[in-house]
């Protein structure tokens, strides 16, 4: 046998998945379970479930800084340190090792390791509805989604049933019900708020957050223990992550090869066959370059990461980047704008408390611009609120009460007053000029160009923010709260860590990158099912939609493969 042919054969798989975060993990599981020999490429280190959650069992006093960041952290990681702390810093990149260019302030918060951001995500899971899937078509921003709710609904069922999402069905058309594990309980003040909002606000609902934390044993994983330390990794498997759920399922098939430290610099393309043939990989540790080949490729490197790979995959056929005949790759970058809402105190319920640290708060589904006149406002789309009630702890009382000594200590160590926090998460419209490009002059340590991000929110989002603050204050007022204060902290793009839209789905190959099955219009054996694919952002936390779209795309891709279409 010709040694070169042998080498190629060894490096050939049925499928390649680029990325091991939430959507990459799902692609790995689905493709492996359907019998495909699948290579999963992750640019960072391996993180073994449980074994590599090195801080997960630590008490606050076992950390040198008891969990706080140092001045050096702030200086060295000006972006990531906004989110990390001493307990989970190792699941975020070092900013200096992974530079990018902010043409306007934009926080690109990332973790380069097996599992990606599925280890540190917020875990809230909400379905999109036809209010979202029809939005672009109705108001003309962006392009029409090529799917409707009925196309994705069974895949939401499927994703929820595997991942394990706790929550409560509320029968709302704008936030469809799902296949939920038993809901977590609200505390006394949250129950009060729910009842008041129901009484005074027609059509508004306060529900418990729908969250990928288990309220009972599920698929071999242990229920949430209410430690609220999720972002350190959970030794119980109490929340959904690639590491705890999808990758073990993929591994169990015997079909998965997981390759850490594998930076994909480009996807290889054969212009005669009009298909992608494989990927070029730089070993993150040795810089060795290897090519791997497969019949289908799933690109799940995150909205900015996947845009980067496409833009960097230049060929005669695609001088502007793979599958970019529409020039839409990298464009329409979206995030959810937030950090706006209201806080208040509540007098009463002084003999009430709670036990346990629930890893989710309450959710107020969208109530603006639902299609009727009453909910219509002078801006487009809408927002939802997250929030929670609590009795303030020493973190507040210790730093706001004057004095010192015994009297101060007494206040410090008792449950403080009840307070409530309500913050909006708003839809951002797709703007073609919110864009990821490559800077060809500046290179990282692997010689790859730097991603360059230019993102801002505009008039529509600003108008929405005013309403977010006002309506939060109004709901707290009517619910009997006092000392109500609205807030609007300066939102920086990317801070919500919901990057979306850089390879959008659409009907028309001239204006979109992917079709209704997340398949590239231009390159039929490449599928993209991370946040890149989102045609609009809606206002719901998006990860559940990536899970459902990934499972759906895998089903389609394997069907096409079997029919000989790919």
Partner 1 sequence: MDASIQKKMNRRKAIASLLVLAGGTAAVYSGVRWRKLNTAPDLVKLQAHKDLITELAETIIPATDTPGAKAAGITPFIISLVTDCTPRREQNRFIEGLIEVDGYARAEYKRSFIKCSTEQREAVVAYFEKRDRPYKGLLGKVSKRIMGDSFFTIMKKYTVIGYCTSMKGATEGLAYDYVPGRYVGSVKLQPGQKCWATE
Is residue 358 part of the contact set for partner 1 (CB under 8 A)?
Answer: yes
Using CB atoms within 10 A of its CB, is residue 171 exposed (0-12), middle (13-18) or buried (19+)? Answer: exposed
Residue whose entry in the numeric block shows the structure tokens 């079709």: 515
Among 134, 177, 415, 556, binds partner 1 (CB under 8 A): 415
Is residue 254 part of the contact set for partner 1 (CB under 8 A)?
Answer: no
Only one of the segments 368-376, 392-400, 433-441, 506-514 lies at the binding site for partner 1 (rule: CB under 8 A); that segment is: 392-400
Question: Cβ of residue 555: shortest distance to partner 1, in angstroms?
Answer: 30
Is residue 66 part of the contact set for partner 1 (CB under 8 A)?
Answer: yes
| Residue 452 tokens, joined | 């360059």
Nearer to partner 1 among residue 85 and residue 479 (C-beta)? 85
Identify whether the C-beta of residue 189 lies closer than 8 Å to the C-beta of residue 389. Answer: yes
Q: What Å distances lie between residue 198 and 427, 477, 479, CA to CA?
A: 24, 14, 10
Picking from 494, 472, 498, the residue whose alpha carbon sits closest to that of residue 485 is 472
Nearer to partner 1 among residue 153 and residue 412 (C-beta)? 412
Is residue 409 part of the contact set for partner 1 (CB under 8 A)?
Answer: yes
Q: Which of residues 215-244 bind partner 1 (CB under 8 A)?
A: 225-228, 231
Among 297, 496, 513, 533, binds partner 1 (CB under 8 A): 496
Among 2, 4, 10, 72, binds partner 1 (CB under 8 A): 72
Is residue 507 part of the contact set for partner 1 (CB under 8 A)?
Answer: no
Nearer to partner 1 among residue 35 and residue 78 (C-beta)? 78
Site string for partner 1, 196-215 (x = CB under 8 A): -------------x------
Picking from 311, 266, 298, the residue whose alpha carbon sits closest to that of residue 519 is 298
Is residue 69 part of the contact set for partner 1 (CB under 8 A)?
Answer: yes
Among 48, 51, 54, 60, binds partner 1 (CB under 8 A): 60
Question: Cβ of residue 348: shortest distance to partner 1, in angstroms?
Answer: 13
Question: Cβ of residue 231: shortest distance to partner 1, in angstroms?
Answer: 8
Q: What is the 3-state secondary structure (H, E, C) of 117-153?
A: HHCCCCCECCCCCHHHHCHHHHHCCCCCCCCCHHHHH
Among 33, 354, 375, 417, binds partner 1 (CB under 8 A): 354
Listed in sequence order, the residues at least 6 apart from 459 whose beta carbon sits closer than 8 Å to its beta carbon are: none
Identify whether the C-beta of residue 18 lies closer than 8 Å to the C-beta of residue 24. Answer: yes
Radius of gyration of the chain measured on its C-alpha atoms: 24
Q: Which residues pair with 41 in a beta bridge?
A: 18, 259
Among 2, 4, 59, 286, binds partner 1 (CB under 8 A): 59
Reading phi first (left if > 0) and then psi (alpha if -120 to 50, else beta), residue 7 is in alpha
| Residue 453 tokens, joined | 């991000």
Only one of the segments 283-291, 308-316, 355-363, 364-372 lies at the binding site for partner 1 (rule: CB under 8 A); that segment is: 355-363
Question: Cβ of residue 302: shortest distance to partner 1, in angstroms?
Answer: 15
């Amino acid at each position: 046998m010709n040694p070169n042919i042998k080498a190629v054969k060894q490096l050939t798989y049925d499928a390649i998945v680029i990325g091991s975060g939430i959507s990459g993990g799902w692609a790995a599981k689905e493709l492996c379970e359907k019998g495909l020999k699948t290579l999963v490429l992750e640019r960072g280190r391996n993180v073994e479930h449980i074994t590599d959650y090195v801080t997960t069992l630590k008490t606050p006093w076992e950390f040198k800084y008891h969990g706080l960041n140092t001045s050096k952290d702030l200086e060295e990681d000006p972006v990531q340190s906004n989110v990390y702390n001493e307990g989970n810093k190792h699941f975020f990149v070092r900013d200096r090792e992974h530079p990018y260019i902010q043409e306007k302030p934009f926080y690109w918060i990332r973790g380069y390791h097996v599992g990606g951001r599925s280890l540190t995500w917020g875990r809230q899971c909400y379905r999109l509805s036809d209010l979202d899937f029809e939005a672009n078509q109705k108001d003309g921003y962006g392009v029409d989604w090529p799917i409707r709710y009925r196309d994705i609904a069974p895949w939401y069922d499927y994703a929820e049933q595997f991942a394990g999402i706790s929550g409560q069905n509320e029968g709302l058309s704008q936030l469809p019900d799902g296949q939920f594990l038993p809901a977590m309980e609200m505390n006394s003040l949250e129950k009060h708020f729910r009842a008041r909002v129901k009484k005074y606000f027609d059509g508004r609902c306060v529900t418990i957050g729908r969250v990928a934390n288990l309220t009972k044993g599920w698929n071999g994983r242990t229920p949430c223990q209410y430690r609220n330390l999720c972002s350190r990794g959970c030794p119980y498997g109490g929340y959904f992550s690639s590491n705890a759920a999808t990758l073990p399922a993929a591994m169990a098939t015997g079909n998965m090869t997981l390759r850490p430290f594998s930076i994909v610099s480009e996807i290889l393309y054969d212009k005669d066959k009009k298909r992608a043939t494989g990927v070029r990989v730089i070993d993150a540790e040795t810089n060795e370059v290897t090519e791997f080949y497969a019949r289908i490729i799933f690109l799940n490197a995150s909205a900015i990461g996947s845009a980067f790979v496409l833009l960097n995959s230049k060929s005669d056929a695609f001088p502007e980047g793979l599958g970019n005949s529409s020039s839409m790759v990298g464009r329409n970058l979206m995030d959810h704008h937030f950090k706006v809402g209201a806080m208040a105190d509540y007098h009463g319920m002084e003999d009430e408390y709670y036990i346990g640290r629930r890893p989710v708060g309450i959710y107020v589904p969208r109530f603006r611009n639902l299609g009727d006149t009453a909910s219509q406002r002078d801006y487009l789309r809408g927002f939802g609120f997250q929030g929670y009630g609590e009795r303030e702890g020493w973190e507040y009382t210790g730093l706001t009460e004057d004095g010192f000594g015994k009297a101060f200590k007494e206040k410090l160590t008792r449950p403080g007053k009840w307070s409530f926090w309500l913050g909006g998460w708003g839809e951002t419209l797709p703007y073609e000029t919110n864009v990821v490009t490559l800077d060809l002059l500046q290179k990282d340590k692997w010689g790859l160009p730097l991603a360059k991000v230019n993102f801002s929110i505009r008039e529509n989002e600003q108008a929405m923010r005013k309403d977010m603050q006002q309506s939060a204050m109004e709901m707290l007022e009517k619910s009997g709260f006092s000392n109500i204060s609205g807030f609007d902290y300066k939102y920086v793009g990317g801070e919500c860590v919901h990057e979306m839209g850089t390879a959008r789905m659409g009907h028309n190959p001239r204006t979109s990158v992917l079709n209704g099955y997340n398949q590239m219009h231009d390159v039929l054996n490449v599928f993209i099912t991370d946040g890149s694919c989102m045609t609009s952002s809606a206002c719901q936390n998006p990860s559940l939609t990536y899970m459902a779209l990934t499972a759906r795309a895998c089903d389609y891709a394997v069907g096409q493969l079997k029919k000989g279409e790919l």
